[in-house]
Amino acid sequence: MRFAVISDVHANLESLEAVLARVPPSDAVLCLGDIVGYGPNPNECLALVRERATATVLGNHDVAAVDGFGIEFFNDAARTAIEWTRGAIDADHVAWLDGLSYELRTDDYLMVHGAPVEYFTYILNKRTAAQAFAATDAPLVFVGHTHLADYYALAPDGSIAHAHRQHGGTLELEPGVRYIVNAGSVGQPRDLNPDASFATYDSDARTIVWERVPYAFARTQAKIEAAHLPASLARRLELGR
């Protein structure tokens, strides 16, 4: 079985379409949240995710779009964008988001936006990764939230390895080792590579493959400008930060 793992679409339709064009129809699609926020196409991205995703969990921007929860933790540009989103988003999409959960677990993997249990914590180093491993017994944890494509591996001896995958690449899953896999961001990468990021988990081959997908970010930038969203949100797309 193959699973395309996508996260942090952030209402960027051009990047979402580019990523989904790379996903074979037979692959399941796991969405780790933050479908909206920052970008100019929340309704179109929600419609595509609802059509294509096999399973979706909530991100902090999705929760804020539903009822304003957590908005006090947002920086100025994020807050401006989420207020714009709340005015733009269809009621039917809000109702759908409101029905999602913060985590989904199978025997094989756990899906959360930021971290297990502390759903909106950022896993940015081995210390926070160790806390995340301790909070769950899932052998494989899929996360987004940081917008950085990377992974942490917990060996049986308790040591943790960390590696970036900001230019794509493969990870061969080893027996007895537990993993936190960050798919990176589809719609607003922050690892100095502007190309959209996603990962594919092959449960038979026991591999994770990260891919970077170029997309027409100039079109997204023009829409951000036309919607009078903060200019910084357009600029960062070409910088990948």
Report the interface residues with Zn ion, using CB under 5 A. 8, 34
Sign of torsion over alpha carbons 15, 11, 141, 162: positive
SS3 letters across 140-187: EEEECCCCCEEEEEECCCCCEEEEECECEEEEECCCCCEEEEEECCCC
Shortest separation between residue 189's beta carbon and Zn ion, angstroms: 11
Q: Which is nearer to Zn ion, 144 or 178 (CB)?
A: 144
Q: Which is nearer to Zn ion, 17 or 34 (CB)?
A: 34
Shortest separation between residue 53's beta carbon and Zn ion, angstroms: 16
Shortest separation between residue 9's beta carbon and Zn ion, angstroms: 9
Q: Which is nearer to Zn ion, 76 or 172 (CB)?
A: 76
Shortest separation between residue 132's beta carbon and Zn ion, angstroms: 17
If we measure between CA atoms, which residue out of 216, 233, 228, 221 comes closest to residue 88?
Answer: 228
- The terminus-to-terminus CA distance of the chain in angstroms comes to 33
Instruction: Give the pair of three-digit tokens for residue 100.
Output: 């999602």
In this structure, the strands spanning 178-183 and 140-143 are parallel
Q: Which is nearer to Zn ion, 178 or 190 (CB)?
A: 190
- Amino acid present at 225: E
Q: Which is nearer to Zn ion, 145 or 178 (CB)?
A: 145
Shortest separation between residue 75's beta carbon and Zn ion, angstroms: 12
- DSSP assigned state of 59: -
Q: How far apart are CA 16 and CA 34, in angstroms?
A: 12
